[in-house]
Amino acid sequence: MPPSLLPVITVFERSPDRGKGLARDMRVRWAFEEVGQPYEVRLVSFSAMKEPAHRALHPFGQIPTYEEGALALFESGAIVFHIAERHAGLLPADPNARARAITWMFAALNTIEPPILDLQTTRILERDKSWYEQRLPVVEDRIRERLAELSDRLGNADWLDGAFSAGDLMMVSVLLRLKASRLLDEYPNLFAYVARGEARPAYRRAFDAQLAIFTSQPSTGR
Amino acid sequence: MPPSLLPVITVFERSPDRGKGLARDMRVRWAFEEVGQPYEVRLVSFSAMKEPAHRALHPFGQIPTYEEGALALFESGAIVFHIAERHAGLLPADPNARARAITWMFAALNTIEPPILDLQTTRILERDKSWYEQRLPVVEDRIRERLAELSDRLGNADWLDGAFSAGDLMMVSVLLRLKASRLLDEYPNLFAYVARGEARPAYRRAFDAQLAIFTSQPSTGR
C-alpha cells in the first residue's frame, strides 16, 4: 500500500466515551471538516498507544497524532492550529484578529480545560478515596469561577471574537466535556454557545464520523 | 504622555513568589529578551486585576497582558507565540520544524502544566483540608508519569527538537514551577534541561528585570 497522500490522524480503536465525541480526535476532525480537508484515520488500541512505535509519534502515549509526509505532530491544539494555518476558514485574515483567535485557543487549553480535566480525573481516579464526596464541590467551584468569567466576556455574542474561529472550535470542544456535569446549565449563554458549535454542519460531520467507528464494532453490543 | 511605541505587558505589582520568577510574565519577558525586542511594563495590583478595566484586557483577571497599538492579547502562550511569529529567534524557519516547536508549546501548556498546576492549587487551597496529606502523593505521582515520559523523549539532547525554540522556552518555564517540590531532581536529564534554560543570557536578563520590581519595593524589607 503506498503511503497516504492525505493527512492521517490516530483515534481510539475503542471509544472510551462510547462515541459521545469527547475524545481529543474530535477537535481535529472538526477542524478538518470546517476547512474541507479530507483525512484518513488510523485506529490505535489502548495497549498500542503505550508502545514505542506510537510513542515515537506521541511521547505521552495518547491520541490524536497527525502525520503528513515527513511531518508528525501531536497535541490537539497544535494539530488544529496547523490545519488552521494552512487552510482558510479557521483564522481571520486580519493580523490582529488572527492573534486574538489564537489567544482564545490557548485560553481554552490552558485556562478553561485544566480545572475541567481536574474534575474528570477526580471522578475517575479519586472516586474510591475517602475525600471524594467532600472534594468534588471544591473542584466544581473552581470551574464555576472560570465559567462565570467566560460567560461575562461572551455576553450576547455568538462567538468569542467576531466570526467563528479556531478559538471557538477549541473552547466549545473543551466546554463539551462539562455536558454530563450540568455545570454548563448554570450559564445559559455558554450553554447556547456550545449548542451553536454543535449545530455547525462541520461539527455534525465530524461527530458522525467518530460515532461510526463505535457503532461499527459488533462486540460493543446494543 | 503619548502612547508607548513599545509593546506593554502587565505584571504583578507585588510578586507573590517574592521574585523567584515563577509568575507568567517571566515567560513573556524571556521571549522578548531572546528576540531582542524592548518592552515596557505596567504594574497591576491584585485588586486592580479583578476590576473591569483590567478584565477588558484579560477576561480571567490575571497577568500578563500584551498591548501594542490597537492589539490587546492575554494568555502567556499566545503572547509568546505572537512574539515568536514576528521576530527571528524562537521558531525555526523550516515549516515542519516550526510546526513541531509549536507542538511543544502546546504540550508544555496542556499536557505538562495541568498536573503541576494541580499540585500548586492543592498546596495553596487544600492545605487545611482533611485529605491534604493523603492526596498530595496522588497528585505528585500524576506529575511523575508525565515527567518520566518527557525525560524519555528528551534523552541526552540539549533541547526538545534541535535548536532552542519557543517550545523549550515554554517547557522550561512550566518545569521551573516544580523547583520547590524536588520532583525534578528525580529526572537528572530534565533537571539539566531546566538549568540549561536558566543559564541562557536572555533568561538571566528577564529574571533580573522581574526581580528588580520586587527588590525596589522598600516595604518588603530584607
What are the tens digits of pLDDT across the range B28-86?
A: 999 999 999 999 999 999 999 999 999 999 999 999 999 999 999 999 999 999 999 99
Interface of B with A (CB under 8 A): 55, 59-61, 70-71, 73-78, 81-82, 96, 99-100, 102-103, 105-107, 109-111, 113-114, 117-118, 121, 125-126, 129-131, 134-135, 138, 142, 146, 149-150, 152-153
Confidence of residue B3 (pLDDT cuts 50, 70, 90): low
Question: pLDDT for A120-153, tens place per residue?
Answer: 988 888 888 888 998 999 999 999 999 999 999 9
Domain ranges of chain B: 8-89+202-220, 95-200
Q: Compute the distance between CA of residue B41 and CA of residue A118 in angstroms, rounded to an integer.
A: 33
Beta strand A65-68 with A71-74 is antiparallel
Which amino acid makes up residue B68?
E
DSSP secondary structure letter of residue A72: E
- Interchain proximity B107–A81, CB inside 8 Å: no
Confidence of residue B5 (pLDDT cuts 50, 70, 90): confident
The whole-angstrom distance between A175's CA and the closest CA on chain B is 15
The more confidently predicted of residues B121 and B171 is: B171
pLDDT score for A129: 87
Region for residue B162 given its phi and psi (left: phi exceeds 0; alpha: psi -120 to 50; beta: otherwise) = left
In chain B, residues with a C-beta closer than 8 Å to the C-beta of A113 are: 110, 114
The more confidently predicted of residues A73 and B125 is: A73
The whole-angstrom distance between B78's CA and the closest CA on chain A is 5
pLDDT score for A113: 96
**For the domain bounded by B8-89+202-220, which CATH number is listed?**
3.40.30.10
- The per-residue pLDDT of chain B, averaged, comes to 93
Mention every residue, 6+ apart, whose C-beta is less than 8 A from residue A137.
none
- Interchain proximity A129–B135, CB inside 8 Å: yes
Confidence of residue B1 (pLDDT cuts 50, 70, 90): low
In chain B, residues with a C-beta closer than 8 Å to the C-beta of A75 are: 103, 106-107, 110-111
Question: pLDDT for B156-207, tens place per residue?
Answer: 999 999 999 999 999 999 999 998 889 999 999 999 999 999 999 999 999 9
* Per-residue confidence in pLDDT tens, chain A, 222 aa: 556 689 999 999 987 787 889 999 999 999 999 999 999 999 999 999 999 999 999 999 999 999 999 999 999 999 999 999 999 999 999 999 999 999 999 999 999 999 999 999 888 888 888 889 989 999 999 999 999 999 999 999 999 999 999 999 999 999 999 988 899 999 999 999 999 999 999 999 999 999 998 888 765 443
Strand partners, A73: A66
Residue listed under C-alpha cell 467576531: A162
pLDDT score for B211: 93
**For the domain bounded by B95-200, which CATH number is listed?**
1.20.1050.10
The whole-angstrom distance between B152's CA and the closest CA on chain A is 8
Q: Compute the distance between CA of residue A40 and CA of residue A19 in angstroms, rounded to an integer.
A: 18
Q: Does residue B218 register a pLDDT over 80? A: no
Q: Does residue B131 register a pLDDT over 90? A: no
In chain B, residues with a C-beta closer than 8 Å to the C-beta of A129 are: 131, 134-135, 138
Q: Provide the whole-model pTM.
A: 0.95
In chain A, residues with a C-beta closer than 8 Å to the C-beta of B82 are: 99, 102
Q: How deeply is B121 buried, as exposed, middle or buried, from its count of CB atoms within 10 A (0-12, 13-18, 19+)?
A: middle
Secondary structure (DSSP) of B171-189: HHHHHHTTGGGTGGGG-HH
- Interchain proximity A126–B106, CB inside 8 Å: no
Q: Which residue, among B75, B96, B116, B173, would best test binding to A if mutated, counting the most A CBs under 10 Å from its CB? A: B75
The whole-angstrom distance between A67's CA and the closest CA on chain B is 11
- Interchain proximity B60–A146, CB inside 8 Å: yes
Structural contact between residues A7 and A179, judged by C-beta atoms closer than 8 angstroms: no
Mention every residue, 6+ apart, whose C-beta is less than 8 A from residue A180.
none
Which amino acid makes up residue A185?
D
Secondary structure (DSSP) of B55-76: HHH-TTS-S-EEEETTEEEE-H
In chain B, residues with a C-beta closer than 8 Å to the C-beta of A152 are: 55, 59
Q: Does residue B125 register a pLDDT over 70? A: yes
pLDDT score for B161: 98
- Interchain proximity B61–A117, CB inside 8 Å: no
- Interchain proximity A106–B78, CB inside 8 Å: yes
pLDDT score for B62: 96
pLDDT score for A221: 40
- Residue of chain B minimizing CA distance to A130: B131
pLDDT score for B160: 98
